[in-house]
A = this chain, B = another copy of it.
Amino acid sequence: MVLRQNDSVLGQLANFAQAEKIPSANFTGMGFVDITFGFFDFETKKYKPRDFKHIELVSMHGTIAWKKGSTSIHAHGVVADKAFQAFGGHILNATVGTGSVEIFIIVHNKQFERTKDDAIGADVLSLD
């Protein structure tokens, strides 16, 4: 899958999952993006966000699963700036910048479901 400028990375992955009705998948990707990472605060159960603009998406990894009929995409990324310093985290949002984003998807034939674990306030992947 090759995304182009202004495409939403998570949005296009969700569109793909729904259009192809895939049971679940793992993916990796790389490219050039504007991205928002979030660090999960287990006390407030919220993500603290930070934006990075015009940055190299060195690598992206994630899982496509389902949650009550909707796609549930969990993606992490490593980015690097002009000085090659690396930052990383849980991806809240990513938009393709100048250039492109190449994504490689491995589709599984078994449905994966995410369910909320109330003890930690976050979604956890279930393989059963």
Residues of A within 8 A of B (CB): 1-2, 4-5, 26, 28, 30, 32, 37, 39-40, 42, 48, 50, 52, 56, 58-59, 61-63, 74, 76-90, 98-100, 102, 104, 106, 117, 120, 122, 124-127
Task: State the 8 A-B residue pairs at the shortest beta-carbon distance, nearest first.
Answer: A58-B88, A80-B88, A86-B86, A86-B88, A84-B87, A26-B104, A30-B76, A84-B89
* Given A2-B125, A28-B28, A28-B61: A80 touches B89 (CB 8 Å cut-off): yes
In the assembled complex, the Cα of A4 lies from the Cα of B40 at a distance in Å of: 16
In the assembled complex, the Cα of A45 lies from the Cα of B118 at a distance in Å of: 45
* Given A56-B89, A90-B56, A124-B2: A61 touches B30 (CB 8 Å cut-off): yes
Instruction: Find A77's partner among B40, B58, B81 (CB 8 Å cutoff).
Output: B58
* Given A26-B28, A80-B89, A82-B48: A59 touches B61 (CB 8 Å cut-off): yes
Residue on B nearest A82 in the bound complex, by CB: B39
